[in-house]
Every structure is written in structure tokens, then in C-alpha cells.
């Protein structure tokens, strides 16, 4: 089972750390004690004493040829519970206080060598019965060595530790665990308080209260609060634009529907009965139905572009050619509006694109340019290459758009000045939104620059099909 709260997790973590530390501390102390000379100080002292006394005396005794009184010296060693041996420099034992020593000790020559080489004061060896011996070799003269040995006493480390260490450590451990519980509770509170606040704010957002979350607490929580503020801002904006969208759609439907309803009611009630009036009413109904049709088609196009389900018939097209034929198609409308249109072309640039959809984009831009231009002014269409992009600019000398409004003209249903609609055949503010979605679906981008009273320039950048072939 997973520990469910931060509090419990912290407590378990602390407890584990405390237990591990106690375990390692105990193991370290046992290990250090086991090999510590402190435990065997008594034995070493006795060995040192015997070794010191005998080495001095033996040098005289051996010099004066072997003397049986030597046994007296060894009695002293026996009293101190230390075994003694005299070894000649060929490794043969001359005297042994205990015959057992010779069979169990390493060869005497090795011992003598040990004594020469080793820096250690007291050495150890383990005999066949696994008993550990301490021994010390000292030189009597050039021909003889004295070996002093004593069994390592058995110190009951287990019970020593149980009495002296384990109990106090368990007590300390218990206190530490209680401390860990308190500290983990405080820590958990400290950590979870800002998280609880975040969770409360998330609940508020879910209930539709978009209050900004205060940026406080640990850095990670501050980061989370910032991200949540960002997110709630986006959700709020998206909900607002959704509401605006529905309101706009309803509004745009309402006007033509009211006209259609009014005129058809008038025909039905025979309020209009003259053939000319009936014809006029029918004309209005037709026009408004057309308008509704266009609106519904635009909305469907946008919905498909949003969902990414718009079928794109992409093929290799040449952009200069596409623009030239669009201008040709617009010739009549252009002449009617009294503006001049000029195209500045470049060498062939091929795109992989849906020509119908791209035509819709450029038609919208040219249509807007005509709508917002005064008679006699010029519309300049330029095609150029920028890196791996083909750039098409549509520049007019019309009314222009202010800086604040420029940021919004690609929004759905946004119209700079609803009253200033260009001509009777005005749109509903979806043209640029659709244009942007189409351009984005082609991997390109659309932007606008403008100067109030001087005109606007719309720039469409589209990726060139195979950049290397188009060099
Ligand atoms: P509409 O159907 O109203 O033309 P668009 O999405 O095409 O909708 O354009 C949005 C708004 O941007 C227009 O209502 C207009 O106010 C502004 N606009 C677009 N093109 C131009 C232009 N060339 N000059 C001035 N204003 C423009």
C-alpha cells in the first residue's frame, strides 16, 4: 500500500534514515571495538613486561653458557600467564615454556623474520583450533630471539554491547522517532499549506471564479501558481471568446432572419400586394438568405479548419501565376470601384498548396483593400522571396487601421468600425480569421501593418515547395 499523505511519507523517510544511521553507527562501533587494542591492554602490558625483563637477563645467561637457573625466570612468565620461547637464528627452538607452542606457532624462522620486518609492536596469529594468539619477538643477541605469546582473551563483546550500547541506543532511537514524527508533521504542514491553497484556488477556477493565485511559498509552488494563473487566464479568455462567438453568431443570424421574417410576413398578410413591392420583398429575402448561406459556410469552414478536418487538395502551384489570374478575375470589380491595381512579380516560385483555399485568402485581402480604398487610389500587390518563403504583400492607400485595432483584426467577428463597413456587400468579420487559419494550415503566417489615414499592408508568407529546386 502506498503511504497516502505527505506527512506519513516524510515520517517514514525520517524513520528510515534514523534507523539506518543507528544501524551503521552500531556496526561501526562494534567493528572498531573488536579490533581495538583497548580491550587487550592488560595482556599487552604483561607481554611487554615479560619480554622486557627476560631479554635483558637472558643476554647474560646465554653469554655465560646455558644456565639451569634460567627456569626461574620462566616461572615468572608463567605467573603472568604468558608463554615464552627462545629461538636460535636458524629457527630451532632452544626453550619452550609450553611444548604446544612449537606445534601451533608458524615456523620460527618466519617469526624471526616477522620480528625484523614488522613495525608492529604486537603481532597476531590464529592456531589450528582458531584460537588467536598475540606474540612479540625480541632479539636477545645475534644468535637468539625471545618469543613472548599470550592467548587473546575472550571478551564477551555481545553482552558488553547489549549492556553498554544497544539499550541506550534504542532509547535514543525511540526519542529520535518521536522527534521525527513531530518534525515530519511540522514539515508536512509547511510544505502542504501552499499546496492546499493552490488546490483551493483550482477549486475556485473549477467553479468559475477566476481570481489570480498569490505567488508565494516555495519556488516550485510559486512556479505552479504562475502556471495555474496562466492557465486560468487562458481558460477565462477562451470561455469569454466562446461566449462572444456565440453572441456574435446569434447577432449575425438575427439581422437577416428578422428581415426575412418581416418581409415574408408582409407578403403573407398581404400588407404588400403591389407586384413591384412583392418583387422587392422577394429580393430582400433572397439577399438575406444568401448572406445567411455565406455566414453558415464561413462558420463551417472555420470549424473544419479548427478541427483540422478541412480537406486540402495540395498540389504544386506557381504563386505569380495564381495572383495574376486572381487579379484578372477581379478586373471588373476593380474597374467598378475606381482603384488602380499594380502587380510586382518575381521569377517563378512553386508552392505545395491548395490553390482554391489560397485564392480565398488573397481574394479576401484584395476585396478588403478595394472595400477600404478611396476611388483613384492604388493597390500594390508584390511577390518576393525571403529565404525559403514566398511573400505576397497587398498594400492599399485606404483608411488604415489603428495600432490597437491592428492586433485584433484577425479575431473572429472583429470589425474595426461596424458603421464604417465597406460598401453594401460587407462581411461579418470572419474573412481574416479564415485567411489566417488557411495560411497556418499551409505552414505559413499572415501579418498586417498599417498607418491610419495612409493605408495598410497585409503580408502572407508561405513556404516554398522544394527550396533547393527554386534557387
Ligand atoms: P470583413 O468581412 O468585415 O471584411 P475581415 O475579417 O476581412 O472582415 O476584416 C476584419 C476587419 O479588419 C474589417 O472589418 C476592417 O475593419 C479591417 N480591415 C481589413 N482589411 C482592411 C484594410 N485593407 N483596410 C482597412 N481596414 C481593414
- Please indicate, yes or no, whether residues 189 and 288 belong to a single structural domain of this protein: no
For residue 20, what is its C-alpha cell?
Answer: 539506518
Say what percent of the chain tops pLDDT 90.
Answer: 34
Answer whether 372 contacts ligand 1 (Cβ < 6 A). yes
362 and 328 Cβ atoms separated by less than 8 Å: no
Tell me, what's the pLDDT at 447? Answer: 97
Answer whether 256 contacts ligand 1 (Cβ < 6 A). no
Q: Of the residues 285, 307, 329, which one is the last residue of a structural domain? A: 307
- Please indicate, yes or no, whether residues 371 and 340 belong to a single structural domain of this protein: yes
CATH number at residue 65: 3.30.450.20
- Please indicate, yes or no, whether residues 287 and 436 belong to a single structural domain of this protein: no
Nearby residues of 4 by Cβ (< 8 Å), 6 or more positions away: none
Neighbours of 2 (CB within 10 A): 5
Calculate the average pLDDT of the chain.
Answer: 84
Q: Of the residues 108, 130, 158, which one is the last residue of a structural domain? A: 158
Q: How many domains does the chain have?
A: 4
Answer whether 398 contacts ligand 1 (Cβ < 6 A). yes
Question: How far is residue 176's CA from residue 18's CA, in Å, rounded to a whole number?
Answer: 7
Residue 219: inside a domain, yes or no?
no
Positive or negative, the CA dihedral 404, 405, 411, 412 is: positive
Residue 31: inside a domain, yes or no?
yes
pLDDT exceeds 60 at position 174: yes
pLDDT exceeds 60 at position 469: no
366 and 328 Cβ atoms separated by less than 8 Å: no
Answer whether 115 contacts ligand 1 (Cβ < 6 A). no
What's the gap in Å between 368 CA and the centre of ligand 1? 6
Say what percent of the chain tops pLDDT 70.
Answer: 86
For residue 175, what is its C-alpha cell?
Answer: 526519542
pLDDT exceeds 70 at position 288: yes
- Please indicate, yes or no, whether residues 29 and 42 belong to a single structural domain of this protein: no
Tell me, what's the pLDDT at 111? Answer: 65
pLDDT confidence bin for 104, thresholds 50/70/90: low
- Please indicate, yes or no, whether residues 336 and 456 belong to a single structural domain of this protein: yes
Ligand 1 binding pocket mutation candidate from 429, 453, 455 (most atoms within 8 A of CB) = 429
Task: Write out pLDDT tens, residues 156-173.
Answer: 666 767 777 777 778 888
Average pLDDT score over residue span 326-346: 88
From atom 11 of ligand 1, which residue's Cα is the shortest distance away?
415
- Please indicate, yes or no, whether residues 352 and 271 belong to a single structural domain of this protein: no
The 8-class DSSP code of residue 153 comes to P
- Please indicate, yes or no, whether residues 83 and 172 belong to a single structural domain of this protein: no
For residue 66, what is its C-alpha cell?
Answer: 646455558
What's the gap in Å between 429 CA and the centre of ligand 1? 7
For residues 452 and 14, which has the higher predicted lDDT (pLDDT)?
452
Residue 230: inside a domain, yes or no?
no
- Please indicate, yes or no, whether residues 332 and 455 belong to a single structural domain of this protein: yes
Per mean pLDDT, which range of 63-67, 135-139, 189-193, 260-264 is the poorest? Answer: 63-67
Answer whether 369 contacts ligand 1 (Cβ < 6 A). yes
Q: What angle do CA 167, 171, 173 make, to 5 degrees?
A: 110
Residue 99: inside a domain, yes or no?
yes
Tell me, what's the pLDDT at 342? Answer: 92
Residue 228: inside a domain, yes or no?
no
Residue 101: inside a domain, yes or no?
yes
Q: Of the residues 198, 218, 250, which one is the last residue of a structural domain? A: 198
Q: Ligand 1 atom closest to Cα of 399?
A: 25
Q: Which residues of 331-362 are buried (b: 16+ CB within 10 A; e: fewer)?
A: eeebeebebebeeeeeeebbbbbbbebbbbbb
Tell me, what's the pLDDT at 421? Answer: 46
Question: How far is residue 324's CA from residue 359's CA, in Å, rounded to a whole number?
Answer: 11
pLDDT confidence bin for 468, thresholds 50/70/90: very low
Residue 434: inside a domain, yes or no?
yes
Task: Write out pLDDT tens, residues 423-456.
Answer: 445 678 899 999 999 999 999 999 999 999 899 9
pLDDT exceeds 90 at position 287: yes
Q: Ligand 1 atom closest to Cα of 430?
A: 6
Tell me, what's the pLDDT at 100? Answer: 63
Answer whether 427 contacts ligand 1 (Cβ < 6 A). yes
Answer whether 455 contacts ligand 1 (Cβ < 6 A). no
For residues 424 and 110, which has the higher predicted lDDT (pLDDT)?
110
- Please indicate, yes or no, whether residues 129 and 187 belong to a single structural domain of this protein: no
376 and 334 Cβ atoms separated by less than 8 Å: no
Which secondary-structure segment (H or E) carries 138?
A: strand 132-139
What's the gap in Å between 352 CA and the centre of ligand 1? 27
pLDDT exceeds 70 at position 233: yes
10 and 188 Cβ atoms separated by less than 8 Å: yes
What's the gap in Å between 364 CA and the centre of ligand 1? 9
CATH number at residue 283: 1.10.287.130
pLDDT exceeds 70 at position 464: yes
CATH number at residue 431: 3.30.565.10
Question: How far is residue 120's CA from residue 151's CA, in Å, rounded to a whole number?
Answer: 18
Tell me, what's the pLDDT at 185? Answer: 83
Nearby residues of 338 by Cβ (< 8 Å), 6 or more positions away: 375, 376
- Please indicate, yes or no, whether residues 430 and 369 belong to a single structural domain of this protein: yes
Identify the bridge partners of residue 341 per DSSP, sorted by sequence position: 379
Among residues 381, 299, 392, the alpha carbon closest in space to that of 353 is found at: 392
- Please indicate, yes or no, whether residues 321 and 454 belong to a single structural domain of this protein: yes
pLDDT exceeds 90 at position 77: no
Domain range enclosing 47? 37-158
221 and 195 Cβ atoms separated by less than 8 Å: yes
Per mean pLDDT, which range of 227-231, 318-322, 334-338, 397-401 is the poorest? Answer: 334-338
Tell me, what's the pLDDT at 301? Answer: 92
Answer whether 361 contacts ligand 1 (Cβ < 6 A). no
Residue 177: inside a domain, yes or no?
yes
Using the structure block, give the residue that is written with the C-alpha cell 480537406: 311
Nearby residues of 355 by Cβ (< 8 Å), 6 or more positions away: 315, 317, 322
Q: Ligand 1 atom closest to Cα of 434?
A: 6
pLDDT exceeds 80 at position 304: yes
pTM of the model: 0.59
Neighbours of 425 (CB within 10 A): 11
Answer whether 399 contacts ligand 1 (Cβ < 6 A). yes
Answer whether 409 contacts ligand 1 (Cβ < 6 A). yes
Answer whether 368 contacts ligand 1 (Cβ < 6 A). yes
- Please indicate, yes or no, whether residues 302 and 355 belong to a single structural domain of this protein: no
What's the gap in Å between 415 CA and the centre of ligand 1? 6
Identify the bridge partners of residue 86 per DSSP, sorted by sequence position: 95, 146
What's the gap in Å between 172 CA and the centre of ligand 1? 80
Identify the bridge partners of residue 381 per DSSP, sorted by sequence position: 343, 394
Angle between helices 219-269 and 275-307 (to 10 degrees): 160
What's the gap in Å between 271 CA and the centre of ligand 1? 38
Per mean pLDDT, which range of 81-95, 110-124, 127-141, 348-362 is the poorest? Answer: 110-124
Q: Ligand 1 atom closest to Cα of 410?
A: 6
Task: Write out pLDDT tens, residues 214-232.
Answer: 888 778 888 988 998 998 8
pLDDT exceeds 70 at position 372: yes
Answer whether 373 contacts ligand 1 (Cβ < 6 A). no
Tell me, what's the pLDDT at 69? Answer: 65
Task: Write out pLDDT tens, residues 17-38.
Answer: 888 888 888 788 877 776 666 7
Tell me, what's the pLDDT at 218? Answer: 78
Amino acid at each position: 500500500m502506498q503511504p497516502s499523505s505527505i506527512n506519513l511519507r516524510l515520517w517514514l523517510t525520517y524513520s528510515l534514515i534514523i534507523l539506518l544511521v543507528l544501524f551503521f553507527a552500531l556496526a561501526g562501533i562494534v567493528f572498531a571495538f573488536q579490533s581495538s587494542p583497548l580491550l587487550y591492554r592488560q595482556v599487552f602490558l604483561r607481554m611487554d613486561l615479560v619480554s622486557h625483563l627476560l631479554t635483558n637477563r637472558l643476554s647474560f645467561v646465554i653469554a655465560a653458557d646455558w644456565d639451569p637457573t634460567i627456569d626461574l625466570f620462566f616461572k615468572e612468565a608463567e605467573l603472568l600467564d604468558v608463554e615464552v620461547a627462545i629461538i636460535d637464528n636458524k629457527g630451532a627452538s632452544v626453550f619452550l615454556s609450553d611444548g604446544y607452542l612449537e606445534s601451533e606457532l608458524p615456523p620460527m624462522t618466519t617469526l624471526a623474520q616477522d620480528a625484523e620486518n614488522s613495525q608492529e609492536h604486537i603481532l597476531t596469529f590464529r592456531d589450528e583450533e582458531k584460537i588467536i594468539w598475540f606474540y612479540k619477538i625480541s632479539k636477545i643477541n645475534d644468535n637468539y630471539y625471545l618469543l613472548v605469546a599470550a592467548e587473546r582473551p575472550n571478551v564477551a563483546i555481545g553482552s558488553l554491547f547489549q549492556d553498554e550500547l544497544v539499550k541506550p541506543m534504542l532509547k535514543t532511537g525511540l526519542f529520535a522517532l518521536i522527534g521525527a514524527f513531530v518534525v515530519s508533521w511540522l514539515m508536512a504542514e509547511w510544505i502542504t499549506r501552499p499546496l492546499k491553497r493552490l488546490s483551493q484556488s483550482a477549486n475556485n477556477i473549477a467553479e468559475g471564479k477566476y481570481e489570480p493565485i498569490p505567488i508565494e511559498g516555495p519556488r516550485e509552488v510559486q512556479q505552479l501558481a504562475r502556471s495555474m494563473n496562466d492557465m486560468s487566464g487562458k481558460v477565462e479568455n477562451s470561455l469569454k471568446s466562446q461566449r462572444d462567438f456565440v453572441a456574435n453568431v446569434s447577432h449575425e443570424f438575427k439581422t437577416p432572419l428578422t428581415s426575412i421574417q418581416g418581409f415574408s410576413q408582409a407578403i403573407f398578410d398581404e400588407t404588400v400586394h403591389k407586384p413591384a413591392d412583392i418583387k422587392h420583398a422577394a429580393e430582400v429575402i433572397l439577399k438575406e438568405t444568401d448572406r445567411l448561406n455565406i455566414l453558415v459556410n464561413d462558420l463551417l469552414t472555420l470549424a473544419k479548419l479548427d478541427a483540422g478536418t478541412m480537406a486540402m487538395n495540395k498540389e504544386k502551384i506557381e504563386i505569380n501565376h495564381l495572383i495574376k489570374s486572381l487579379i484578372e478575375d477581379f478586373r471588373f470589380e476593380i474597374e467598378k470601384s475606381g482603384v488602380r491595381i499594380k502587380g510586382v512579380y518575381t521569377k517563378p516560385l512553386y508552392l505545395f498548396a491548395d490553390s482554391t483555399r489560397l485564392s480565398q485568402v488573397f481574394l479576401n485581402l484584395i476585396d478588403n483593400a478595394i472595400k477600404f480604398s478611396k476611388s483613384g487610389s492604388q493597390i500594390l500587390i508584390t511577390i518576393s522571396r525571403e529565404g525559403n518563403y514566398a511573400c505576397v504583400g497587398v498594400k492599399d492607400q485606404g483608411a488604415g487601421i489603428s495600432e490597437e485595432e491592428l492586433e485584433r483584426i484577425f479575431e473572429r467577428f472583429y470589425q474595426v468600425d461596424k458603421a464604417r463597413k465597406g460598401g453594401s456587400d460587407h462581411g461579418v468579420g470572419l474573412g481574416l480569421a479564415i485567411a489566417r487559419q488557411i495560411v497556418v494550415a499551409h505552414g505559413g503566417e499572415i501579418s498586417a501593418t498599417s498607418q491610419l489615414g495612409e493605408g495598410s499592408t497585409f503580408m502572407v508568407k508561405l513556404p516554398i515547395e522544394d527550396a533547393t529546386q527554386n534557387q
